[in-house]
Each structure stands twice: as C-alpha cells, then as structure tokens.
Copies of this chain bind each other. A is one copy, B any other.
Amino acid sequence: MKRSKGKLILSASAVAIAALLGSAAMAQTGTSGAAAGNDWVSPTGMDNNQRYSSLDQITAANVGKLQVAWTFSTGVLRGHEGAPLVIGDIMYVHAPFPNTVFALDLAHDGKILWKYEPKQDPNVIPVMCCDTVNRGVAYGDGKIFLHQADTTLVALDAKTGKVAWSVKTDDASKGATGTDAPMVVKDKVYVGVSGGEFGVRGWLAAYSVADGKQVWRGYSMGPDSDTLIDPNKTTNLGKPVEADSSIKSWQGDQWKIGGGDTWGWYSYDPTLNLIYYGSGNPSTWNPKQRPGDNKYSMTIWARDADTGHVKWLYQMTPHDEWDYDGVNEMILAEQDIAGKARKLLVHFDRNGFGYTLDRETGELLVAEKYDPAVNWASKVDMDKASPTYGRPLVLPQYSTEHNGEDVNSKNICPAALGTKDEQPAAFSPKTGLFYVPTNHVCMDYEPFRVSYTAGQPYVGATLAMFPPQGQTNMGNFIAWDARTGKIVWSLPEQFSVWSGALATAGDVVFYGTLEGYLKAVDAKTGKELYKFKTPSGIIGNVMTYSHGGKQYVAVLSGVGGWAGIGLAAGLTDPHDGLGAVGGYAALSQYTALGGQLTVFALPAN
C-alpha cells in the first residue's frame, strides 16, 4: 500500500531540541558522594549501590498523599527491569528487547527528544534464559551506554541519540547475551555477560568511554592470565590464592564452558579504586557433571578499576548444586561493627545468606540467613581455624549431588531463583538498615545429564517452585541489620518482591510488587504508608529525582523476568520452562503484560 507521492508536512525541529538540551545541566562522568541528589545518574543511584537518595521532600508523614504526576508507555511488552536515569532536564528510559531507549523532556511532560531502537537479530530471544530483560543504561562523558541483548555495547550521544561508537562484547550465537546495566567510572564503562544456562564463560570488561576500545577483560574462570588473578597479590579470605587456582578446581577443560556469568549490578569504591560484583552459577545445573569447586563461579570479586587485577575474592557457594547464581549486587556502606568503623560490603546472595565483608581486605564478618526458610545449609562456617572456613555446611538431604542424577530432591529452600535474585536492595545511612526485596520460595530439584552444544540450552536440571510448606506468601520485604545479621522487620507479600528498593532521606522506603503495586513503607518500622496499582506487575527498580524544585518517584511496570516468565512468554502451566513458572502461574489473576513508567509526586498544595 505504498505509493511515493505527496509532500512532507511536519518534521522534528532538530534546532529546537538542540537548544533545549544545551541548557540542561549535563552531569560529569561518574558519580561521587554518598547519596543520589536531584539527578539519578547511575543505574543504582550511586556507584556504592546503596540506592539511597538525599531527597527528603517526600516524607513518612506526607507520602500518603502521593499522586501520579505523569506516565509513559515504552511501546514494548514483557519484563521491564532496571530504572530510568535523570540528568538535568532529561530522563533516559530503556526497554526490554528490542532495547529501545528514549530521552524524555522533563520540562514538557516527557516529550520524546530522541528514540534509539537498535535492529537486532530476533534469534537472540530464545537464548535469553529469563525473559528478554535489560537492566538499564549508564551515563558518562555526554554519552548513554546500552548493552544490547545481542551483546552490542553502544554509546549514544546523550543530546541527540546518535551512535558515537559500538562494539560487540561476546557472541550471541553461542548463548551470550547482554542484559546488564553498564557502569561508568572515570574514563571507562564496565559491562558483563549473561549465559549461564548456555555454558557461556563469564567475564567483566572495561571499555574506554571515549572510543569503545577494550581496556581489560577478567574472566570468572580459566588460567590466571584470563582471570587477572595474581597469586602473589590476590587473597581469598585473607590468604593468597594458589597459581591457576581456577582451572585446578575443574575437571579437564570444563572451565571453558563453566558459566560464572556477570549480569548483576556493579559497584565501585573511589578511595580503594575497586570494582565489586558477583559471578554466577557454574554450568551445567547438574553438579555430578562438573566435579570440584568450580572456581570462580559463585564468587564475590574485588578488581582494580584501572587494570582489572583481582585484589581479593570469596567463593560463597563452592560447587553449586542449586543454581544459586551469585550475581546479586554488592552494597558499599560505612558502619561500625563492635565499635570499629568498617568499610563494609554487604551482599544478599541467591543462596539465602546475607554476607557482610570488609571490602578493603575481603574479611568475612557476618554470614546469616536472611530468610528463616533457608534450609540447604545449616550455616556458613565462621571458624577461621576450620578447614571449611567460609564454606556453607550443606545438609545431605538437600544436596542434589549427594542424592544424585534423576533423583528429585524435595523441599529445598530457597528455590533456584534464590532468596533474592537481581532485584537490588537499598541501604539507608540514616537508619543503618538494608531493605531487601526477597523471594520466599522453595523447590524440588532433579538434575539430569546433558551434553553441551554451542548456542543450545545447557541446563541439566528440572524443578518445581512453591512457597515454604504450610505458608502461602512467596515473598517478603525485609529490613536487615548487616552488622548483626538479623531481620529487623519483615512484610509478607503474596508473590516474590522482584522490584529494586529505594531508601530516601525522608525516611520512606519504596518497592514494587509483582501484582503491580508501588508501596511506600516507614523506613524505621516497615509500616505501609501508601500503595498504588500501576498498569502491570513491577520488576523494575524504584528511583527518585528532583526537577523544578519538586521530588518525584518513578518506577517501570512490565511484568516478566524469571518470576513473570509465565506471563511474559505465554507459559500457563506451572511445569513449563523446566518448572520455572511454578507458583507464579497465579500472577495471571492479577496483572497482564505491560511496559510503562509511572511518575509520582506530592500534590501542588
């Protein structure tokens, strides 16, 4: 129905847009200070991953009057993880595959200044394990950085949306995909990779923000030359590591398809100049097929930001038997423990333990269960003199290795998606508490033998997921004291809380629910102060910013991700997707697919 006739009538006024952007305060590369302010420059608010804002116009006293200020549809369905950025007058909103990015004019109700929609081979969709998610963009040096599903890292001019440079970081034909939000520190942009269910060997890499040249790449496993481990300098729980410690923990060449992917949130300490992140599960999910500790899957990493060299590391779940993917974020906070000021790293792992470490040395300070349901290990061995120091003490009845292939191990808690997955926690320096969105889900897990074919699923287990026995809630939103390893308060939720939390100086904590509610609770007591039903289930992260003197709170709706994969991919049976749908099948009674931003503010008077 095309016939090339007629005339051009209206077109975007490029001149007007350029003028508008010229007046916007463009933030400098990287983020410093302890809290996010008027802008929200990095995917997690600040490089410390605290997801804490100093804004305090919205308080525990007035948040009950919150209203929806404006809304925006991304034009994309399926799971919307991550959060928008705000820099000056512009908000940057991303979407799942095809990874559309919008620059919205905050001074004009979100008018679209530019839109970037990459053309990607749709064949990447089947190799995205857990929905077609993307966790957001990063900003630095006047550029917006996006890691596309097809592992293209692209730098867009923040004013025009034009591609400044792009580079392929890995090979989607082998199952490697880009789902993570990059992080910018100084002159580098950091990015990792997804693909643990396809045997993709994980890495973290630094690219030059100026031209996209790779500066360094550190693999999760392989010889020291690949991992950038230096046996003379790198420590593990305070002790030097052996030479080639990674490949010694694998049978033969299995490390080459060993997983340990790196798609969580990255953090940075500017004083120590260290990057922190976690590596994921070893491939396959069938532990019998890969003897050894499978180093360094399931590991907390501290790498030099400039060189990638490993300062220290700590493997939380050696020889994983449950897919307790260790990618969750590392939150950097300053707290006193036993009267001593500490530079802390706090991490809520998929395996159900909340870890507190000294982030300078990697010393393990606290490791406690942050859900009482966790049962696969009795505890983490904290006895420094013990040969199993730092290791979880696994109970044999929940050991899928011990029970063996083709045996259904029952009632293991947590389920494979962990007591927490990628949904990031928040920290308030005012209360000293961490606010953690959690899954309260157990599983039956049955490993089976699988062979590796590049680009094909390499999973090797089937599972069923359900709430702990005798309970109905599949999630809790908790406040956690990382100094003691204790739950301070806990709010039950019907489904997993798969939304990133936000803590604010107004003593309000925000999170979203899979049914689609944005909730605001009292930071001290957990008392619910406000809730609103957004268009679709929330797996995005709540953020806040100030514009024109007014504080706004924003969140992406769009049910999906692992918890919402049933809705996102049209799977209606709890057994679908190797059992990934599980108890979440009931979500279809509450919400449908979407892709919307909802922005909240207090009323004018």
Chain A interface residues (CB < 8 Å from chain B): 1-12, 65, 67-68, 70-75, 77, 100, 102, 109-112, 115, 408, 444, 446, 457, 459, 462-467, 516, 532-536, 557-558, 567, 574-579, 582-583, 585-586, 588-598, 603
Contacts and interface: CB of A to CB of B under 8 A. Distances in A.
Contacts of A593: 73, 75
B70 A533 contact: yes
Nearest to A408: B5
B102 A11 contact: no
B534 A71 contact: yes
Contacts of A71: 68, 71, 516, 533-535, 596, 598
A574 B74 contact: no
A73 B596 contact: yes
Contacts of A6: 444, 462-464, 574-575, 579, 582
A112 B592 contact: yes
Contact of A12 (B457, B463, B589, B598): B589
Nearest to A584: B10
B535 A596 contact: yes
A591 B111 CA distance: 7
B578 A3 contact: yes
Contact of A535 (B4, B8, B457, B535): B535
Contacts of A586: 10-12
A577 B2 contact: yes
Contacts of A459: 1
Nearest to A463: B6
Given A71-B535, A590-B111, A591-B112, A9 B408 contact: no
Contact of A532 (B70, B100, B578): B70
Nearest to A576: B2
Contacts of A73: 535-536, 557-558, 591-596
Contacts of A102: 592
Contacts of A111: 589-590
A530 to B, nearest CB: 12
A76 to B, nearest CB: 8
18 contacts: A2-B578, A4-B575, A6-B462, A6-B574, A6-B582, A7-B444, A9-B466, A9-B582, A10-B574, A10-B586, A12-B586, A65-B603, A70-B532, A71-B534, A71-B596, A73-B592, A535-B597, A594-B596
Q: Which of A115, A589, A603 has the most chain B CB atoms closer than 10 A to its own CB? A: A589
A464 B408 contact: no
Contacts of A9: 464-467, 574, 582-583, 585
Given A102-B592, A535-B597, 5 more contacts: A5-B464, A7-B444, A7-B464, A9-B465, A594-B596
A579 to B, nearest CB: 5
Q: Which of A73, A467, A585, A595 has the most chain B CB atoms closer than 10 A to its own CB? A: A73
B534 A457 contact: no
B535 A579 contact: no
What are the 8 tightest A-B residue pairs by CB atom distance, in nearest-first order? A6-B464, A73-B594, A75-B592, A73-B535, A75-B593, A68-B68, A73-B536, A9-B466
Contacts of A536: 73, 75
Given A10-B585, A596-B594, A5 B579 contact: yes
Nearest to A594: B73
A463 B585 CA distance: 49
A590 B457 CA distance: 41
Contacts of A75: 77, 536, 567, 592-594
A560 to B, nearest CB: 11
A68 B600 CA distance: 10
B10 A446 contact: no
A584 to B, nearest CB: 8
A467 to B, nearest CB: 8
Nearest to A575: B6
A533 B106 CA distance: 12
